[in-house]
């Protein structure tokens, strides 16, 4: 009995690379219940509550990424003191040096852990060397917390934000566990004013939080995981073994999977934050309803797209230096946005395609002299949504495949080896997968008013009703889940 208890305690306190902590795991759910109990006790004790949440956030990151949690501390301490020094320095060149130092530390960590092997492989032929992959572990969520911390130092440099006085407050902001490892990228200007506000979770906030958590769990643990394990992975692992129609529905499956996976995480992060008394901005707004690629990036991963706009696109000159420069700036922004997702030519192609599409759409809109706010109607709107959706699907092929050759093979199968006649067999062989895909797409394309009604319904439910919904969803997850925990897709970024 003693050995069994000690083993459980060891599992609780040590990092397991095969089972990192994620929101949809049973371990996190039990820990979160205990966390909420202590959090409620400390409700009126600001400093103690902030210390407790910060410690739990570091523990959460350790359970997600292991020993590399110390990188979070390096980024936090570095940017806190650089921002403070930046605020009291009046000399322009000194302020520029300080913000460059912040960029070097954050982007330096990002480049080392994420891009060393990529650049090594690319440059090795120049000196006649042989490329051998270096064993460099990619810490979970490093792209998110470095970008979040950079937004703080850049805002202080631009004098759009006053730096914090206490390191603890900044550590709380950077490490806040709901959004730590996969976003959304929460801006300091939105989050910091909430830190010392009186902690009060209204009935509306609690109900919204429960709805977002339930919605996120359903998207991730029911739809995304099931269609991934039982269909999408098989197609993408060996596209040449499957016909064009199987590859096409594999692409449709991944298009739904990545949305349900990432927006599911964002929904849970937003919901957990609401239960703790904090509001995060929405990160997704039904992106596959978009009428153009521009509209898509107003709806998909909004925290990243607005970050790239405010800190990269505008810094490059935005649309202030003529039309040609605007198109080039859009392309550069999306190429770097693709590279942010990973060190691979596939990600560069993905970003490049989106950059070209954004530039083409802006050019067409300029030629038509149409304002940004104008929208299509009727059959034109439907056609625009279908065209945009399939362009996004095409780009996901390069995003998902590990090699460029795999992407070309998949597209070749779709366009040259289609075999539509086997569609009935495909449906028959993957009934559960196609049922969940149909449910997922129907829910996604349903009117926004439906979600608003569901949210209000959950808010009005008594506590026992909310608990019953959780029990039903957990039972459903247990019935269909795979044996292994499926990590969130965006953990790799």
What DSSP line would sit under 51-74, residue for residue?
Answer: HHHHHHHHHHHHHHHGGGGHHHHH
* Residues 188 and 219 grouped into a single domain: no
Tokens of 247: 């590859």
As given in the structure block, the two tokens for residue 192 are 């910091």
For residues 100 and 244, membership in a common domain is answered with: no
- pLDDT at residue 120 tops 80: no
Average pLDDT over residues 455-469: 86
What pLDDT, in 10s, does the model give residues 349-390?
999 999 999 999 888 887 877 666 666 777 888 999 999 999
Q: Per the domain annotation, does 40 fall within a domain?
A: no
Please count the other Cβ atoms lying within 10 Å of the Cβ belonging to residue 148: 28
Cβ within 8 Å of residue 415, ≥6 positions away: 244
d(C-alpha 302, C-alpha 284), whole Å: 6
In a domain? residue 153: yes
349 inside domain: no
Query: How many domains are contained in the chain?
Result: 2
Confidence band of 11 (pLDDT split at 50, 70, 90): low
Last residue of a domain, one of 173, 195, 217: 195
Q: According to the model, what pLDDT value does residue 376 have?
A: 72
- Shared domain check, 191 and 79: yes
Mean pLDDT of 435-447: 92
In a shared domain, residues 97 and 214: no
148 shares its domain with 215: no
User: Cα separation of 275 and 63, whole Å?
Assistant: 22
203 CB contacts (<8 Å, ≥6 apart)?
Answer: 459
Last residue of a domain, one of 172, 195, 218: 195
Higher pLDDT, 402 or 259: 259
**Per-residue confidence (pLDDT) for residue 293, from 0 to 100:** 94
Distance CA 393, CA 409 (A): 15
Report if residue 44 sits inside a domain.
no
Residues found in the chain: 493
Whether 326 maps to a domain, the answer reads no
Residues 147, 227, single domain; the answer is no
Query: In which domain, by residue range, is 422 found?
Result: 208-291+375-492
Token output for 190: 């939105």
The answer to whether 486 and 225 have CB atoms below 8 angstroms apart is: yes
Question: How much is the pLDDT for 343?
Answer: 77
Contact 217, 264 (CB under 8 A): yes
Most confident of 62-76, 120-134, 272-286, 471-485: 272-286
CB 163 within 8 A of CB 84: yes
Task: From 138, 171, 195, give the residue that closes a domain.
Answer: 195
Residue 202 maps to a domain: no
* Residues taking part in catalysis: 341
Identify the pLDDT of residue 330: 92
Residue 301 domain flag? no
Considering the domain architecture, whether residues 191 and 217 belong to the same structural domain is answered as no
């Amino acid at each position: 009995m003693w050995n069994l208890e000690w083993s459980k305690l060891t599992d609780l306190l040590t990092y397991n690379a095969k089972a990192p902590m994620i929101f949809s795991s049973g371990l996190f759910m039990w820990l979160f219940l205990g966390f909420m109990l202590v959090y409620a006790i400390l409700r009126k004790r600001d400093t103690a509550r902030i210390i407790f949440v910060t410690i739990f956030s570091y523990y959460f990151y350790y359970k997600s990424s292991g020993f590399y949690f110390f990188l979070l501390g390096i980024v936090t301490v570095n940017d806190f003191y650089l921002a403070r020094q930046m605020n009291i320095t009046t000399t322009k060149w000194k302020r520029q040096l300080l913000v460059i130092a912040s960029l070097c530390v954050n982007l330096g960590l990002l480049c080392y852990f994420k891009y060393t092997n990529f650049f090594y492989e690319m440059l090795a032929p120049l000196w006649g060397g042989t490329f051998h992959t270096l064993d460099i572990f990619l810490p979970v969520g490093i792209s998110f917390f470095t970008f979040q911390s950079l937004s703080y130092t850049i805002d202080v440099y631009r004098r759009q934000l006053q730096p914090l006085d206490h390191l603890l407050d900044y550590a709380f902001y950077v490490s806040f566990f709901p959004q730590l490892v996969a976003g959304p990228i929460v801006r300091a200007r939105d989050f910091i004013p909430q830190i010392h506000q009186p902690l009060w979770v209204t009935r509306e906030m609690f109900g919204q939080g429960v709805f977002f958590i339930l919605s996120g769990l359903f998207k991730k643990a029911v739809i995304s995981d099931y269609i991934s394990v039982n269909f999408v992975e098989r197609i993408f692992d060996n596209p040449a073994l499957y016909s064009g129609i199987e590859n096409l529905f594999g692409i449709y499956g991944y298009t739904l999977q990545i949305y349900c996976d990432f927006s599911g995480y964002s929904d849970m992060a937003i919901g957990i934050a609401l239960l703790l008394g904090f509001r995060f901005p929405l990160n997704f707004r039904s992106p596959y309803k978009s009428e153009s690629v521009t509209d898509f990036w107003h709806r998909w991963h909004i925290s990243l797209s607005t970050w790239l706009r405010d800190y990269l696109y505008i810094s490059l000159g935005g649309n202030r230096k003529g039309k040609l420069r605007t198109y080039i700036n859009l392309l550069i922004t999306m190429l770097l946005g693709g590279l942010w997702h990973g060190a691979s030519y596939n990600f560069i192609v993905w970003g490049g395609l989106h950059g070209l599409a954004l530039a083409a759409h802006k050019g067409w809109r300029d030629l038509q002299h149409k304002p940004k706010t104008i929208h299509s109607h009727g059959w034109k709107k439907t056609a625009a949504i279908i065209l945009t959706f399939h362009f996004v699907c095409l780009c996901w092929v390069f995003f998902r495949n590990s090699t460029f050759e795999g992407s070309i093979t998949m597209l070749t199968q779709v366009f040259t080896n289609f075999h539509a006649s086997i569609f009935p067999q495909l449906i028959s062989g993957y009934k559960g997968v196609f049922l969940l895909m149909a449910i997922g797409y129907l829910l996604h394309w349903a009117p926004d008013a439906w979600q608003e009604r569901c949210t209000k319904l959950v808010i009005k439910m008594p506590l026992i009703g909310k608990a019953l919904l959780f029990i039903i969803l957990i039972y459903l997850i247990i019935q269909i889940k795979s044996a292994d925990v499926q990590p969130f897709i965006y953990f790799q970024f």
